[in-house]
């Protein structure tokens, strides 16, 4: 079999699941760095897959893993352990009343599947609304309401899959406003859903910051109106906080920035601090209704003790080290540095986001806002060559947007280094013929 360009030797036994693999082999990781087998240190501005929120191999998480190895690692799905009970109780205590019941799973896809099944069972409907550009998972249900790059070629989505445009103020999806969203996209999108609906609404699922869509933040006023529109239609509001929870946006949970709370909340990525752990959280009323109706969600690793023990360590780090406050502080520092870069480089069209989840949009022309995903890709490739891992969204119609999400433990010196590398990479990529 012919190797891909720059392929890593030995990948001929792998199913290629993400296009091309990154041309390096990671040997170890610690803090803000990934270290390769050839001795390179790569500064990680993505926290792995946005999961190692408190840095790679945090010593508290490693210690929790070691302790958990002396306890049950896996049990019958209906059998519980102290770690599972304690983590669910601590999450419920940290969250406001109305988010009281917890189910522990492994991935964001699973937690969204469970939330969607509960919403459908409780509401009696099956129609679910998602945002254009959203990403909620790769399993059949979650994928049906993921309006990103992953839909084509796999057959029909779930019946009742509906979509509304995001409040992408920099590139208004209904070509109405420029720079400041006045919620026209929301009103028009919901009207279109009403026209398509067969009268069986179940839920609307959204990230508080639409990440795969290019770091599009939802404002308090937008979310308040979204809540009203959901209530008018009997839609359960599901917040998918895979990337935004555990301090990332400057709050323990991103929805705390609004005067609105969801009916169901899903957590993943950050909850495990780099380990596969996710949670679906609902109100007592929804859980009791679903239980009475025979709710079933049995997987091989539901309520496993080992990841729950890690989740307890992650939760402890969040609260003990005041990570939300640290994200606000370091996010302000990083955003200021990015804005300085914007003054020097015409190809930086927009800087947006919250806390340490920031977006940098690359354009061909700042005045026309013409997208330049090709330039964005060249910048990302050059960054990696220089020792900085950056993630860029490459969705047709969404230009090239860097998702910048370093560990919340990152230092100012590491941010300065990353900015220096990015500065050099942009200059060299722009100069490239």
Whether 329 and 369 map to the same domain: the answer is yes
Whether 91 and 228 map to the same domain: the answer is yes
Predicted local confidence at residue 7, as pLDDT: 63
How far apart, in whole angstroms, are the C-alpha atoms of residue 415 and residue 318? 21
3-state secondary structure at position 409: coil
Indicate if 195 belongs to the active site: no
Percentage of the residues of the chain whose pLDDT score is greater than 90: 85
3-state secondary structure at position 399: coil
Alpha helices in 254-304 (DSSP H): 284-292
- Largest Cα separation within the chain, whole Å, is 65
* pLDDT reading at 1 higher than 50: no
Between residues 371 and 243, the one the model is more confident about: 243
Whether 166 and 198 map to the same domain: the answer is yes
Whether 188 and 269 map to the same domain: the answer is yes
Host H or E run for residue 246:
none
Catalytic residue among 240, 263, 350, 414: 240
* pLDDT reading at 355 higher than 80: yes
Predicted local confidence at residue 400, as pLDDT: 87
In a domain, 426, yes or no: yes
3-state secondary structure at position 111: helix
Catalytic residue among 120, 127, 143, 243: 243
In a domain, 264, yes or no: yes
Catalytic residue among 101, 120, 248, 269: 269
* pLDDT reading at 2 higher than 60: no
Q: What is the CATH number of the domain that holds 398?
A: 3.90.1150.10
Whether 210 and 222 map to the same domain: the answer is yes
The 10s digit of each residue's pLDDT in 240-288 is 999 999 999 999 999 999 989 999 999 999 999 999 999 999 999 999 9
How far apart, in whole angstroms, are the C-alpha atoms of residue 197 and residue 183? 21
* pLDDT reading at 341 higher than 60: yes
What's the N-to-C CA distance of the chain in angstroms? 33
SS3 labels along 129-184: EEEECCCCCCCHHHHHCCECCCCCCCCCCCCCEEEECCCCHHHCCCCCCCCCCCCH
In a domain, 3, yes or no: no
Indicate if 432 belongs to the active site: no
Indicate if 71 belongs to the active site: no
Q: Cβ distance 308 to 275 under 8 Å?
A: no
Range of the domain at 155: 62-320
Whether 267 and 168 map to the same domain: the answer is yes
Whether 163 and 247 map to the same domain: the answer is yes
The domain boundary, picked from 275, 299, 320, lies at: 320
Q: Tokens standing for 315?
A: 């939760």
Indicate if 28 belongs to the active site: no
Whether 40 and 118 map to the same domain: the answer is no
Whether 95 and 46 map to the same domain: the answer is no
Q: Give the β-pairing of 201-206 and 236-240.
A: parallel
Which letter does DSSP use for residue 96 in this model? P
Whether 342 and 412 map to the same domain: the answer is yes
The domain boundary, picked from 320, 338, 370, lies at: 320
Indicate if 178 belongs to the active site: no
Indicate if 269 belongs to the active site: yes
In a domain, 31, yes or no: yes
Q: What is the CATH number of the domain that holds 140?
A: 3.40.640.10
Name the domain count of the chain.
2
In a domain, 45, yes or no: yes
Whether 30 and 109 map to the same domain: the answer is no
Catalytic residue among 100, 135, 335, 414: 135
- Cα→Cα distances 84→27, 223, 281, 300, 309, Å: 31, 32, 14, 15, 8
Q: Cβ distance 418 to 388 under 8 Å?
A: yes
- Non-local CB neighbours of 402 within 8 Å, separated by 6+ positions: 359, 360, 361, 362, 376, 379, 380, 390, 391, 392, 393
The domain boundary, picked from 295, 320, 345, lies at: 320
Average pLDDT, the chain: 94
The 10s digit of each residue's pLDDT in 31-88 is 999 999 999 999 999 999 999 999 999 999 999 999 999 999 999 999 999 999 999 9
Whether 190 and 301 map to the same domain: the answer is yes
How far apart, in whole angstroms, are the C-alpha atoms of residue 271 and residue 279? 8
């Amino acid at each position: 079999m012919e190797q891909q360009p720059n392929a890593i030797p030995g990948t001929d036994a792998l199913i290629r699941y993400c296009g091309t693999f990154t041309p390096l082999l990671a040997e170890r990781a610690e803090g803000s760095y990934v270290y390769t087998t050839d001795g390179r240190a790569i500064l990680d501005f993505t926290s792995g897959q946005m999961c190692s929120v408190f840095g790679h191999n945090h010593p508290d998480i490693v210690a929790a893993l070691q302790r958990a190895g002396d306890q049950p690692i896996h049990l019958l799905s209906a059998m519980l352990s102290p770690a599972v009970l304690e983590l669910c109780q601590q999450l419920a205590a940290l969250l406001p009343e109305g988010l009281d019941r917890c189910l522990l799973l492994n991935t964001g896809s699973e937690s969204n599947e469970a939330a969607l099944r509960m919403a459908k069972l409780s509401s009696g409907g099956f129609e679910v609304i998602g945002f254009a550009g959203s990403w909620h998972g790769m399993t059949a249900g979650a994928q049906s309401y993921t309006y990103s790059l992953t839909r084509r070629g796999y057959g029909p989505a779930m019946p009742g899959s509906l979509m509304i445009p995001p409040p992408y103020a920099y590139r208004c999806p209904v070509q109405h406003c420029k720079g400041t969203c006045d919620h026209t996209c929301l009103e028009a999108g919901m009207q279109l859903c009403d026209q398509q609906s067969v009268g069986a609404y179940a839920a609307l699922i959204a990230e508080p910051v639409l990440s795969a869509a290019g770091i599009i933040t939802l404002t308090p006023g937008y979310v308040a109106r979204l809540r009203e529109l959901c209530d008018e239609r009997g839609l359960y509001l599901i917040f998918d906080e895979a990337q935004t929870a555990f301090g990332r946006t400057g709050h323990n949970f991103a929805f705390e920035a609004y005067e609105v709370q969801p009916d169901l909340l899903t957590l993943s990525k950050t909850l495990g601090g780099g380990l596969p752990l996710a949670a679906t959280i609902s109100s007592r009323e929804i859980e009791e209704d679903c239980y009475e109706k025979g709710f079933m969600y049995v997987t091989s690793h539901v309520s496993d003790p080992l990841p729950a023990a890690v989740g307890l360590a992650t939760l402890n780090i969040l609260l003990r080290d005041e990570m939300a406050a640290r994200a606000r502080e370091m996010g302000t520092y990083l955003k200021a540095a990015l804005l300085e870069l914007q003054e020097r480089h015409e190809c930086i069209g927009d800087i947006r986001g919250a806390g340490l989840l920031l977006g940098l949009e690359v354009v061909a022309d700042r005045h026309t806002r013409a997208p330049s995903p090709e330039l964005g890709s060249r910048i990302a490739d050059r960054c990696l060559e220089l020792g900085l891992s950056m993630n860029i969204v490459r969705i047709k119609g969404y230009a090239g947007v860097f998702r910048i999400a370093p560990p919340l433990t990152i230092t100012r010196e590491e941010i300065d280094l990353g900015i220096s590398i990015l500065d050099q990479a942009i200059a060299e990529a722009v100069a490239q013929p």
